[in-house]
Every structure is written in C-alpha cells, then in structure tokens.
Amino acid sequence: MPDIRHLPKAPTRSRSLAAGERIDAHHHDDHQIVYAGSGLVAVTTDAGTWFAPGTRAIWVPAGTVHAHRAYGHLDLHLVGLPADDNPLGLDAPTVLTVSPLLRELILAYTGAPDDTSAERRRLRAVLRDQLRASPQQPVQLPAPTDPRLAAVCAIVHDDPADARTLADLAAETGTGERTLSRLFRTELGMTFPQWRTQSRLYHALRMLADDTPVTTVAHRCGWSSSSAFIDVFRRSFGYTPGAHRRRP
C-alpha cells in the first residue's frame, strides 16, 4: 500500500491542475475547504467521492485521508482552517452551496496566502460567516462495501446510460431485489434511483468539463431527452448545463 502523506497544516492557496491531474491521498491536521474556480474537482475518500462544480465547495475535516482529481482545466482554491475552528460543526466530508459572495471571498482569500494584514483577517472573518450560512448539498457518490451492492453499482457506474431496473440488475448479479433495495438504503443512505441519478450527474459534470455538447451528455448519461437532463441538472446545481460549460 502506498504511503499516505501527512501534511500538518492544510495549505491556503490557489493552483491550476490540468485535466486528469491528481493530488495523491494525504491528510492534514487542519480542516480544508476545496473549491473549483473553473473545471470540476472530485475529492475521494474510503467512504466515496464528493464532487463540486462552481456553485459548490467541499468541506474536508481535519484528519480525513483524501485525494483530489481534476476534470477539465481546474482552477483549484484551498482554504485551510485550524482543527479547533469548525464553523459548521461537520465531522465528515460535505458539499456546501457557494453563493456569489462566498465565491468572491474564497478567490480573494486564496489569491494572497502570505498576506497577514488586518484587511485579510477581516476578509477571513466574513468568509467564515458566509461559510456558516452555506446550506449543505447531497452531491456525493457513496462507495459501497457489500460485494452484492458493489457489483450492481459498478454496472451502473460503468455505463450511466444503462436503463435497466433494479430487478433486472438483481437478476444479473444473482441477488434479490428486496435485498439490494435494503442495502442501498442502509449502506448508502439513498434509494437506487437516487444513487443512479448521482452517478449520472457525476459523469455529466466530467463530460461537461471536457466541453462535451449538452445533447451528447444527456444521451450518454441515460436521460430520455436534453430537456429532462437540463431540468435535473438545474435543480441539482442551480444553473443549466450550458451555463456550466461557459464558466471560466
């Protein structure tokens, strides 16, 4: 097993990552806010993958072993907070809504990480206030551990356009439909349709980050029409897939 880096402090900075570039598994003693100014960032832990476009940020608690991956050209912004500074009281990775004001605060705060002025301390205080008011969002792809559930999730994740029902997938994997339905709820905290939608949205965000046309994304990710895809995407992220592709 590869060594997992330990970074005592979570860095506050901005950096660019090329499409497909990774930051290997590591952990630090501080909390961290992970935000994509452009592109898409995915944060993966043993519990699953959290993904965030420009209207979302990911809270990573102190001590959490995690890795980052870029989709599209990623303008990555990281905000470190001491372990005793947890404005949201969260002890697990969580996706948060980023308002236009919070976005500008993150960009400004990470743009000058070595600044120790009183102005920057005030900026940090406002950032924390805005962070505390940020609603949590269920933009996560939990990782199954039960081998029966993992087999079904792998089929769905490998082909997001696969429209088979849970009963069909249960028959293919030799597991009862009721057993799988129970496992989705107890282990992943969501129903099969909810998990499949999260998987499809994850694939959709990755394709959009690579400038794939919206109609192509809708088809490849299993939506019956572009309008159906656009409706789900807007309700999930607060803007349309077309607007996502036009982000800086």
Give the pLDDT confidence of 8-45 residue by residue, as tens digits. 888 899 999 998 899 999 999 999 999 998 888 899 99
Q: Considering only CA atoms, which of 17, 21, 49, 12 is closest in space to residue 36? A: 17
Token duo for residue 125: 């205080």
Given this model, what pLDDT does residue 1 score? Answer: 37
Tell whether domain 144-245 is in CATH 1.10.10.60. Answer: yes
Give the integer Cα–Cα distance in Å for 188 and 164. Answer: 20
Q: How far is CA 64 from the centre of its chain?
A: 15
Parallel/antiparallel/unpaired status of strands 22-28 and 5-7:
parallel
Contact 73, 18 (CB under 8 A): yes
Domain boundaries, the chain: 5-140, 144-245
Give the fold, CATH level 3, of 5-140: Jelly Rolls (2.60.120)
Given this model, what pLDDT does residue 184 score? Answer: 94
Instruction: Report residues of the chain scoring pLDDT below 50.
Output: 1
Give the integer Cα–Cα distance in Å for 185 and 190. Answer: 5
Q: Among positive and negative, which fits the CA dihedral 203, 205, 211, 213? A: positive
